[in-house]
Amino acid sequence: MAITPTRVIRYETRGRKAYITLNRPEVMNALNGEIVKALGEAISEFGDDDNLLVAIISGEGGRAFSAGMDLKERTQQDQGGPPASKTRRRGARAAFDELANCRKPLIAAIDGYCLAAGLEITINCDIRIATMQSLFGLPEARRSLIPGPGVQLSRHIAMGEALLILLTGGHVTAERMYQLGYIQRLVPDREALFKEADAIADEILQCAPLAVQALKRIIKVGHSLPVPVMEQMAEPIRGMIERTEDRQEGPRAFVEKRAAVWKMR
C-alpha cells in the first residue's frame, strides 16, 4: 500500500533504504494521534516493499528525536472520557506493534531528547546510534503514567539500571546509555549521526536479506528463551535458509572473488 501523505512524517527512499523522519520539530516531535498513525503506516509500507531492506528512523530539527506523547492532546482526550482514551491507546498500540513485528532491520538515529514514547520507539529498533548531546528518559511515573514498551528496558540493560531510569523519571546522558549497551554507536554531532547510520545500513545491505531477516527473528523471539528451546526454535528457520538459492550464492561469490548477487529466493 502507499502511505497517506502527511506533514508529520517524512517517508523517503534511496536505493534499498527507507528514511522515516518524525516531523513535528516545533513541539520536539511529540507523538500525537496523527503522527503515531502515520508512523505505523510508514513502517507497514517499508515492511511490504520488497525493494527496501533497512530503515533509518530519526527526528527532525535537532532538538529531539521525540520528547514522548503529546500531553496536551492526552489531557484533551482524558477530558473526553474513556472512549477517547481507549481510541488513543489502540492507535499507539497499533503503531508500536508495527515496529515490534517488522521483520527487517530498523536503525534509530537519535539526536536530542529521546523521552517516554520517543524512547519506546527506539526500544523497538534493532540498532541505536546517538549524538553526544542526546538525553534519554522514561518520565512517565512523574505524571502518574505507566510506560508501554518502556517496561521492556530491562531486556536491554541491567534490571537495576532500568529500574533507576523508570522509578526516578530523570534524564540519562547518551554516554551513560552507551556504557550500558543500549546505544551501539556514539557520535559527536548530527552530521556524523546520519553518516554512521548510512554506513551501518550499507553494511547490512551487503548481507543476504533472507538471512538477515531470519537472524532478527531468531534473536528477537529467542532472546528470553532457554538455550535448548531457542536452538529448537531456530532449527527450522536455518533449514529454510539452507534451501535458498542465496545460500549457495554466498560461498560461490566468495570463491569467485566477486560481490554476491542476492535474489531473495
Q: Which residues are catalytic?
A: 120, 140
- Residue 149 · residue 96 · CB < 8 Å: yes
The full DSSP string for 193-249 is: HHHHHHHHHHHHHTS-HHHHHHHHHHHHHHTTS-HHHHHHHHHHHHHHHHTSHHHHH
- Residue 173 · residue 215 · CB < 8 Å: no
- Residue 99 · residue 124 · CB < 8 Å: yes
The full DSSP string for 178-192 is: HHTTS-SEEESSHHH
| Three-class DSSP category at 114 | strand
Q: How many CB atoms lie within 10 A of CB 55?
A: 25
In the block, cell 531468531 appears at: 218
Q: How many Å apart are CA 180 and CA 132, to the nearest integer?
A: 15
User: All 3 cell numbers of residue 71?
Assistant: 500531553
Q: Which residues pair with 173 in a beta bridge?
A: 135
Buried b / exposed e over 233-243, threshold 16 CB at 10 Å, is ebeebeeeeee
Which of the 8 DSSP states describes residue 101? Answer: H
Q: How many Å apart are CA 93 and CA 58, to the nearest integer?
A: 20
